Amino acid sequence: MPARTLPTLVQAEVASHNSAKSCYVTIGTNVYDITDFLDSHPGGADLILEWGGKDITEILKDEVSHVHSEAAYEMLDESLIGFVATNKVIDAAVESKRPGNLVPVTTADGVNKTGKPVYLATGLSSAEDLSKETDLANDYKTHKFLDLNKPLLMQIWRGGFSKEFYLEQVHRPRHYKGGASAPLFGNFLEPLSKTAWYVVPTVWLPPVLYGTYIAREGCTSFRQEACYWVFGLFLWTFVEYILHRFLFHLDTWLPDNRVALTLHFLLHGVHHYLPMDKLRLVMPPTLFFVLAFPFWKLAHVVFYWNWHIATAVFCGGIFGYICYDLTHYFLHHRKLPAYWQQLKKHHLEHHFMDYQNGFGVTNRFWDRVFGTPLQSERVKLA
């Protein structure tokens, strides 16, 4: 029988195998499937099931309970099925300059039927996996996270999830049945959480055009207004990067409580959890207004000497946002020309491979400036 590479499993997956139908235990980073041994255990199956999905290093050595013999360890070796990817392992893979470290093993049979290597951080192997329909019942049974048949928001609020478990799960993308939107609120607020892509230019393009028109009155020439407007557009690319990295992906600094986790899920977590949801991909106008208002004030503080110039800069920035949200939508759902095809590859790799890097959506300039290119790009840059 040819040798096979044993899979690396995330902690949550190991922990979910804690029943008589499927019982895993770990010793250090080794994972053992001892389901078939349950009925043969001298102390009874119930004693083992108490430790299902957990590390048994200490209990095997416990003198009060029973110090296990070398024969017990040899029997365990026959049940070795893989290795657990601890946070330390995942963090080391993400920080590595070698993207191969993110794909250390091939998945077990039945986990990924394609046999392709899987990225530890997301559990996916390719962009195509983002749109493979999730088995809703099996996903909930396996991961014990969210039931996609029920409103999601209150499950986050009431779930009692740790920050570690929440981030591990929310960055493992699912695809709701038929590509429809999974229920978020489950009440009258549900329609407010959905926004079609064409709403963005419909709502924001007229104010941008009007603002650009009235800004002309306070500028000495068309060229001056155009320069400030383009400057605002350039500033948007920086704002886009900062918002995506430090607000939408506030993962490392996220407080470990349900308020923070629920807000994170509403703001961006739901997009990483269900990245192909067409109606929760662009920003609802009310949310963008809340985010844009401080920048309106800031523009008029910085350019205090000329209200019209500040307006021109702001309008250029808002046009940049319109381009960003439309680009974001089309990267997920349209075939695009060559340049945008490269952006599409870059952004989808952010989802299925390396969500802790690659924050630029309309461009990759600021990722290169601040040292956050995708792991696969770091080799090319080295």
244 is in an annotated binding site: yes
Report yes or no: 327 and 333 within 8 Å, Cβ to Cβ. no
Q: Compute the distance between CA of residue 85 and CA of residue 89 in angstroms, rounded to an integer.
A: 6
Q: Which of 61-75, 104-118, 260-274, 284-298 has the highest mean pLDDT?
A: 260-274
264 is in an annotated binding site: no
Report yes or no: 375 and 345 within 8 Å, Cβ to Cβ. no
Q: Compute the distance between CA of residue 169 and CA of residue 121 in angstroms, rounded to an integer.
A: 9
Kindly report the average pLDDT of the chain as a whole number: 84
The pLDDT score that the predictor gives to residue 178 is 79
Q: How confident is the model at residue 72 (pLDDT cuts 50, 70, 90)?
A: confident
Q: Is residue 73 scored above 60 in pLDDT?
A: yes
Sign of the Cα torsion 36, 40, 46, 48 reads negative
Q: How many CA atoms lie within 13 A of 144 on its CB side?
A: 14
How much of the chain, in percent, has pLDDT values that exceed 70? Answer: 84
Q: Lowest mean pLDDT: which of 95-99, 127-131, 233-237, 248-252? A: 95-99
Q: How confident is the model at residue 87 (pLDDT cuts 50, 70, 90)?
A: low
pLDDT in tens, 94-152: 554 443 334 333 333 333 444 455 676 677 777 888 888 888 988 898 889 999 999 99
Q: Lowest mean pLDDT: which of 176-180, 188-192, 299-303? A: 176-180
268 is in an annotated binding site: yes
* Helical residues (DSSP H) of the chain, grouped into ranges: 11-16, 45-49, 57-61, 70-77, 87-95, 136-143, 152-158, 163-170, 199-215, 222-243, 258-264, 270-273, 285-302, 307-333, 338-352, 365-369, 375-381
For the chain, counts of helices (H) and of strands (E): 17, 4
Q: Which of 81-90, 113-122, 228-237, 326-335 has the highest mean pLDDT?
A: 228-237
Rounded-to-5 percentages of helix, strand, coil across the chain = 55, 5, 40
Q: Lowest mean pLDDT: which of 72-76, 86-90, 294-298, 349-353? A: 86-90
328 is in an annotated binding site: yes
Residue found by looking up tokens 């696969």 in the block: 376
Identity at 373, one-letter amino acid code: P
Q: How confident is the model at residue 75 (pLDDT cuts 50, 70, 90)?
A: confident
What is the arithmetic mean of pLDDT over 211-240?
94
Residues in the chain: 382
350 is in an annotated binding site: yes
For residue 254, CA distances in Å to 42, 78, 86, 217, 358 come to: 46, 41, 20, 45, 19
Q: Compute the distance between CA of residue 228 and CA of residue 68 in angstroms, rounded to an integer.
A: 75
308 is in an annotated binding site: no
Q: Which fold would CATH assign to domain 1-116? A: Flavocytochrome B2; Chain A, domain 1 (3.10.120)
Q: Is residue 250 scored above 50 in pLDDT?
A: yes
The pLDDT score that the predictor gives to residue 143 is 87
For the chain, the domains span 1-116, 178-381
Higher pLDDT, 13 or 257: 257
Q: Is residue 220 scored above 70 in pLDDT?
A: yes
CA torsion, ordered 159, 164, 165, 171, to nearest 10 deg = 110
Report yes or no: 232 and 320 within 8 Å, Cβ to Cβ. yes
pTM score, two decimals? 0.70
Q: Is residue 256 scored above 70 in pLDDT?
A: yes
Burial of 139 (0-12, 13-18, 19+ CB in 10 A): middle
66 is in an annotated binding site: no
Q: Is residue 77 scored above 90 in pLDDT?
A: no
The pLDDT score that the predictor gives to residue 116 is 56
Q: Is residue 44 scored above 90 in pLDDT?
A: no
